[in-house]
Structures are given as structure tokens and as C-alpha cells.
A = this chain, B = another copy of it.
């Protein structure tokens, strides 16, 4: 009642932020270098130029650390486009996601987060993407009155193939391929004006 927000107000100051960034960077590097090799706290700490104790205190286990890194990496990296139509939005967005998933380092991070982070890690990898999908579909629902695909179906048809190819087939799809996935979700003739390709105008 006295102070505005007294409880649990952390101290995200300069040093903490610097250490957090260094550790995150170290994790990304190490996972990219040798995905199979078991990641341990001392190794990460050494690479980050930080003491292992610090890592143990901020992130209890390697799994939590990986989940945290994955959450940061897969949040805000892609922006929701606004082309004026759902088809155009989805096409550009799918192409962007495909481009992002084409980076081997990203794949290594996702696999590591899935393995060590379990349920937590899985959510870290897909949470933001599904939210973006929901935002685009919700916007379309407000725009038009006709039938709009559900978020679930959009995730099945778009994120399913995208993530499957990247993680399991280890052959990330091209942006063009990803763009065409939208035609599975939205049947009917393709309106040339609803293109997700970078307009040169």
C-alpha cells in the first residue's frame, strides 16, 4: 500500500542485462557448434566469461536456461505484416518464418530446447508464432464477415509443414514454398494483388 510495486522488483540493471546477454550468446554459440555434445553450466559460463555460480543461481538447470534462450530468440524476431488481406499477410509471414527456420543455428537451438526444456522448451519455440497467427486471423475476422479459418487449422497447415521440415526432415523449406502453403489453407483463385512477395513499388 505504501510503495507502488515494492515486492519482487528485480534489478534488471546494466550488469545483470550484460551477463544475461553474454550467457545467451554463449548458449547459442555452443549449441550451434556441436548440437549433440551435452551442454553443461560450467561450459556455458566459461564461454560467457562468467562464473558458473552465477549461472546456477539465475537459471537453476540447463533446461531452464535453454528454454529462456529459446523464448528470447523466438520472440520479436518476426513482425506481423499488414498487407491488407489475410492471404497477403499469411504469405509474407510464412515466407519470413521459413527464412528464419533456414538458419542451422536456429534449428540446433530448437532441438536443444525441446530435449532439455521438455514442455517448456516446446512452448518457447511456438508460442510467439501462434500468437502472431491468431493476431492476423483475428484482424481478418474484424475486417470481413465471411468465413475465416481457425487458428488451429492455420497452425496445422502452415506451422506444421514449416516446423516438420526444419526439425525432422532437416531440410527447411524455401520462402516460396512456404508462401504456397497458404493456398492450402485458403482455397480459391489466387488474387494477384494479395501477394506476400516484396512489392517493388
Contact = CB atoms under 8 A, between A and B. Distances in A.
Interface in A105-161: 108, 111-123, 125-126, 130, 155-157, 159-161
Identical copies of this chain, number = 2
Interface residues of A, number: 39
A116 B130 CA distance: 26
Nearest to A120: B36
A164 interface: yes
A165 interface: yes
Scoring A115, A118, A130 by chain B CB atoms within 10 A of each residue's CB, the highest score goes to A115
A184 interface: yes
A10 interface: no
Interface of A: 35-36, 38, 61-63, 108, 111-123, 125-126, 130, 155-157, 159-165, 167-170, 181, 184
Given A36-B61, A38-B61, A130-B169, 6 more contacts: A36-B63, A36-B118, A38-B62, A157-B157, A157-B184, A164-B164
